[in-house]
Amino acid sequence: MFELDWPWVLLALPIPLLVYYFFPAQSEQRESALRVPFIDDFRFSQEVSLSSYRNFWFKLLCALIWCLLVIAGSRPQWLGELISINISGRDLMLAVDLSDSMRIGDFKIKGREVNRLTATKFVASQFIEKRQGDRLGLILFGSQAYLQTPLTFDIKTINQLLQESAIGLAGERTAIGDAIGLSLKRLDSSPDTSRVLILITDGANTAGEVTPLKAAQLAAQRKLKIYTIGIGADEQIQTTWFGVRKINPSSQLDEKTLRAIADTTGGRYFRARDTEELEQIYQLLDQLEPLGRDQQSLRPVNALFYWPLAFALVFSLLGYATSQWRWQL
């Protein structure tokens, strides 16, 4: 459906006519007191007729340009078909650890060894794409916690910013408590029944101004439910000069604190030792916190003002070229 967003702008259409009739231009031509006939008077009358003909079309072109400019100013737009969107009312914040330990390559994607952050991005992106109807936010934390994206329905932007995140971007240490505190601040205005935080880390709290347990207690008071995910393999084989040995790359993972955070806030703690377990966790999280869905309707709007504006520009150039040619004659 076509409509004008500012139809009152069309009231400006008759302005040139009003100016033309109420403020006419002063004619500079004066009749000669004595008229002397010449042989080529007939040719002169033909030139006058041609000039009048050109002036008529030039004025018509100017009127057309004015009409196009006024139409562009009225903001023409095309309204698409009515679209219904399911709104769950859930506000979900995703906090991702970017500390230096996320470089450890103990995960595999399709048989290829990758580091922990790459695996997190791969699985989390699929989870984000399914969050139609939820408002999502993204927090990246290391030595400090930073809000990368506030709560929004624009899941495509959140996914893109998550993919662009890099290890060490927020520092080399881990500030779990600050990440929870920042999430609580951003979710404080949300309804009490819809505040959810998913926190992904592979270590222990080694930085920040707030301890994780203190932050969890504040979150519980404000009804923020936290689901914690500890990632990292329990066993990794390393080849050294002295042979092959097995190590535990997740020795620094503080599962006790992560479990306490989840228990304090009414959430759950999950352990992801490989990509398959991480995917299963996200599938389970996808089913958590079911809420009644409301429908919201909207119409996509496509602006069309640039079409009359473009034609006005073309006709303006044509009118300029015509006037130059007329003066040269």
Residue 209, pLDDT above cutoff 80: yes
Residue 296, pLDDT above cutoff 90: no
Fill in the amino acid letter for 88: S
- Residue 17: predicted pLDDT: 84
The whole domain housing 103 covers: 85-295
Q: Is residue 143 classed as helix, strand or coil in its secondary structure?
A: coil
| Long-range CB contacts (within 8 A, 24+) of 220-225 | 220/264, 220/265, 220/266, 222/184, 222/188, 222/192, 222/195, 223/192, 223/193, 223/195, 224/183, 224/184, 224/187, 224/195, 224/196, 224/197, 224/265, 225/195, 225/196, 225/197, 225/265, 225/266, 225/267, 225/289
**Cβ atoms of residues 176 and 205 within 8 Å:** yes
- Residue 89: predicted pLDDT: 60
Residue 38, pLDDT above cutoff 90: no
Q: Quick check: is 310 in a domain?
A: yes
Same domain, 225 and 288: yes
Provide the whole-model pTM.
0.62
**Total tally of structural domains belonging to the chain:** 2
Same domain, 123 and 187: yes
How would you class 106 by CB atoms within 10 Å of its CB: exposed for 0-12, middle for 13-18, buried for 19 or more? Answer: buried
- Residue 84: predicted pLDDT: 64
Q: Quick check: is 20 in a domain?
A: no
- Residue 179: predicted pLDDT: 93
The per-residue pLDDT for range 145-188, each reduced to its tens digit, is: 999 999 888 888 999 999 999 988 888 889 999 999 999 888 87
Task: Give the residue from 108, 102, 160, 114 showing the smallest Cα distance to 136.
Answer: 160
Q: Quick check: is 31 in a domain?
A: no
- Residue 35: predicted pLDDT: 53
Same domain, 120 and 266: yes
Same domain, 316 and 265: no
Same domain, 59 and 94: no
Same domain, 291 and 304: no
Same domain, 250 and 107: yes
- Residue 245: predicted pLDDT: 60
Question: What integer best gives the mean pLDDT of the chain?
Answer: 80
Same domain, 172 and 96: yes
- Residue 54: predicted pLDDT: 67
Range name among 33-37, 158-162, 232-236, 266-270 with the lowest pLDDT average = 33-37
For residues 247-264, give the mean pLDDT: 83
> CA–CA separation, 307 vs 3, rounded Å?
14
Q: Quick check: is 23 in a domain?
A: no
- Residue 316: predicted pLDDT: 86
The per-residue pLDDT for range 43-61, each reduced to its tens digit, is: 545 454 556 666 777 788 8
- Residue 62: predicted pLDDT: 84
For residues 224-249, give the mean pLDDT: 72
> CA–CA separation, 71 vs 304, rounded Å?
10
Q: Quick check: is 30 in a domain?
A: no
Same domain, 307 and 287: no
CATH classification at residue 251: 3.40.50.410
Q: Quick check: is 29 in a domain?
A: no
Residues 6+ apart with CB under 8 A from 134: 88, 90, 91, 92, 153
- Residue 146: predicted pLDDT: 92
Residue 39, pLDDT above cutoff 80: no
- Residue 90: predicted pLDDT: 74
Same domain, 64 and 98: no
Q: Kindly report the length of the chain.
A: 329
Q: Which ranges of the chain does DSSP label H, i.e. alpha helix?
A: 15-22, 41-73, 116-129, 155-164, 176-187, 212-221, 255-265, 275-287, 306-328
Task: Give the residue from 66, 57, 20 showing the smallest Cα distance to 316.
Answer: 66
Task: Give the residue from 316, 312, 297 showing the smallest Cα distance to 76.
Answer: 312
Instruction: Tokens for 102, please give them.
Output: 């996320």
DSSP state of 75: -
Q: Quick check: is 25 in a domain?
A: no
Same domain, 253 and 154: yes
The per-residue pLDDT for range 3-30, each reduced to its tens digit, is: 888 889 999 898 888 887 887 766 545 5
For residues 110-115, give the mean pLDDT: 84
- Residue 25: predicted pLDDT: 65
Same domain, 137 and 220: yes
Range name among 13-27, 30-44, 247-261 with the lowest pLDDT average = 30-44
